[in-house]
Amino acid sequence: MLTKHQIFKMGSLAVGPHMLSVIPFGIICGAIGVEMGFSPYLVYAMSIIIFGGASQIVFLQLLSGGASTFIAVTSVGVINTRHILYGAVLSEYLEKLSLLKKLVISYFIVDQGFAESNKFLRKNKDQINKHYHLLGTGITLWVCWQISTIFGIILGSFIPEELGLKFAVPLTFIAILINELRKIDHVIVILVSGISSLLFFDAPLKSYIIIAPLVSLIAASLVLKFKK
């Protein structure tokens, strides 16, 4: 049986490589918020209150582009609906915890942390302290996100835009999915989601980010029927 500390550390190490994208993205997020003329305190507070990279940037872009606050808030909600899917997956592993622990752990659920902890949790269902993995990935990502947004706010976009570090974001997610490419059913689901996201890209309120997963989960249920 692994200790809390060991599992936390495993989670922390598991998201280490993703810092290659999280840190530049956090810096960009802080820098563009200030460049658009928002108060540095507001830009930083978003990293604590919302804590969701893409949705923070979209929120600021919409507001500075003159969209209503209603549209901006709704877009954040829509972009982040994917967490509902993560929660549905994770609920199985967290069911025995107290309500308070569930409420605390929920706050730290983000894409990369979910992806890495999900791999661990699947293989370690019997570990009593398995939820510490989610805390390890989540808190590590949280700390790095806070520090990198602050750097972005204070120093501005000190990383030249020509470097195209935004491109590290899709690369991180490619790295997360790479092992799923070995299974044909997963490849089908990946392609359905990817192609749907391109087709629905112009749907209102950035809803492609949840439409594409839902379409491909329907495809997944069909794939499962065929497998049986």
Partner 1 sequence: MTWLSVIIAGILTYLTRTTMITLVNRNVLSNNVKQVLSYVPAAVFPAIIFPAVFFNDSGLLDDLNSPKIIAASIAVLVGYFAKNVIATILSGLISYWIIIFLL
> With contacts defined by CB under 8 A, how many residues of the chain interact with partner 1?
92
DSSP states of 118-165: HHHHHH-TT-TTTHHHHHHHHHHHHHHHHHHHHHHHHH-S-S-GGG-G
**Minimum distance of partner 1 from residue 6's CB (angstroms):** 21
Can you tell me which of 115, 121, 141, 153 binds partner 1, judged by CB under 8 A? 115
Q: Which of residues 93-112 bind partner 1 (CB under 8 A)?
A: 94-95, 99, 102-103, 105-107, 109, 111
b/e code 144-165 from CB counts within 10 Å (16+ = b): bbbebbbbbbeeeeebeeeeeb
Amino acid at 226: F
Contact status: 172 vs partner 1 (CB under 8 A)? yes
Distance CA 42, CA 34 (A): 9
Site for partner 1 contains 184 (CB under 8 A): no
Q: How near is the Cβ of 150 to partner 1 at its closest, in Å?
A: 17
By C-beta, is 66 or 164 nearer to partner 1? 164
Residues 116-145 that bind partner 1 (CB under 8 A): 118
Q: Which of 87, 144, 150, 151 is close enough to bind partner 1 by CB under 8 A?
A: 87
Q: Can residue 86 be called a binding residue for partner 1 (CB under 8 A)?
A: yes
Of 82, 86, 62, 87, nearest to 73 by C-alpha is: 62
Q: Is 32 in the site for partner 1 (CB under 8 A)?
A: no
